[in-house]
Amino acid sequence: MIKTLGNAVFFQLGWWIAILSAGRGQPWLAPPVLGGLLAVNIWNASQPRAMTLVVLVIGSAGLLLDSGLTALGLLRFGDHPFAPWLCPPWLCALWYLFATTLHHSLRWLEGRSWLAALLGGMAGPVSYGAGQAFGALTLGPTDALALLLLALLWAGLLPLFVQTAARIHGSAAAGRLR
């Protein structure tokens, strides 16, 4: 219970750090801080190898997704140290930290795909909308269209992410992940 609560608190802390630092023109602050939170989550995991694999798989899928949305113009970010069509490093770090929640603080969604879809369809767009309100990103071409697309994407992706994390952790528990 303590680890689950700690995981939820770490993710919320990381979210605020990422959004506020990006919104205030200091996006370089979030990756090292979120990296530290990520390391603590992996260190404290009951299955560190499985958690690392979940972080790599889900985190990478998320940054590819947001990079695709950025390339399509549905997400826009301020100054970017790499390429304007990639999601920025602070958002990549946030995706990797989010992946740690799937088998900890969001584990209660395992086996409840409809609930995960409902939560994803609501919380995903709210998170991006809040990011826009704090100046971390801009939705486009219209807020309504971007939020609707994000709701549909998250309604499909959160159940898939939860199921993927459960399978990876199940494989580790069965000794198939070495």
- Locate the domains of the chain by residue range: 2-173
**Residue 167 and residue 54: Cα distance in Å, rounded?**
10
| pLDDT higher than threshold 90 for residue 174 | no
pLDDT score recorded for residue 170: 86
Q: Are 135 and 23 in contact (CB under 8 A)?
A: yes
Q: Convert the pLDDT of each residue in 118-151 to its tens digit.
A: 999 999 999 999 999 999 999 988 889 999 999 9
| pLDDT higher than threshold 70 for residue 29 | yes
| pLDDT higher than threshold 90 for residue 178 | no
**Mean of pLDDT values over 142-164:** 95
| pLDDT higher than threshold 80 for residue 2 | no
